[in-house]
A and B are shown apart, each in its own frame.
Chain A
């Protein structure tokens, strides 16, 4: 089945530095990927929709300059948290849709997530 690989699984960085998180579709092509953020004991909040070859679409309230998204190929989207601060500490999860799912429609697969801790 469709597999989405997300790296790193855990990262600790110093306040003020930038962190890049990768989301790869391993056995399918994904023109669209989604980035979610999850606070402890809370639900997943959609941050942005990553579109291959074009600009990402951000949800209301998400800082575009803080969370840079690049979707340079059909199998890779990256999320860069720039000038990270402790309040950016969270669990970030990406998702991609396997379009070959055809009539099955939504073949959304999620990565295993990245735990970001900013100290």
Chain B
């Protein structure tokens, strides 16, 4: 069964600083990986996803993530954060099936220091 670990519960970075949110997954086959963002009381918005091909994935809002099979990781990065990036970020993993569920990590709350 697939699982996702986000080791950082809460991260605070200064506005304009770079950001990296960690995600490690466990899955026996090639995983489908996602990063979602959730603002308080809201649904989820997909930032980016990885299925195959180039291991560096570009997403919306200036985010990118790199799939590293050897490390079972899919870390999310942004070179310069904005105050509006403060939110909860979830990494998720799915399987190669048309009806497969996706499993979420515990989430990382991002705060931005002015």
Contact = CB atoms under 8 A, between A and B. Distances in A.
A34 B42 contact: no
What band does the interface of chain A fall in when counting residues whose beta carbon is under 8 Å from B? 20 to 34
Interface of A is mostly: strand
Nearest to A108: B102
Contacts of B101: 34, 46, 49
Nearest to B95: A106
User: Which 7 A-B residue pairings sit nearest by Cβ, starting from the closest?
Assistant: A112-B43, A110-B44, A32-B99, A110-B43, A44-B104, A43-B106, A105-B51
Interface in B46-99: 46, 49, 51, 90, 94, 98-99
A6 B49 contact: no
Contacts of B99: 31-32, 49, 51, 97
Contact of A44 (B45, B46, B90): B90
A79 interface: no
Contact of B41 (A45, A46, A113): A113
A115 interface: yes
Given A95-B102, A99-B98, 7 more contacts: A6-B43, A43-B90, A51-B99, A95-B44, A106-B49, A110-B36, A115-B41
Interface of B is mostly: strand
Nearest to A94: B43
B10 to A, nearest CB: 10
Interface of A: 6, 31-32, 34, 36, 41-46, 49, 51, 91, 93, 95, 97, 99, 104-106, 108-113, 115
B102 to A, nearest CB: 6
What band does the interface of chain B fall in when counting residues whose beta carbon is under 8 Å from A? 20 to 34
Nearest to A103: B51
A41 to B, nearest CB: 8
Contacts of B106: 42-43
A43 B43 contact: no
Nearest to A6: B43
A114 B52 CA distance: 33
B90 A113 contact: no
A42 B44 CA distance: 14
Contacts of B103: 46
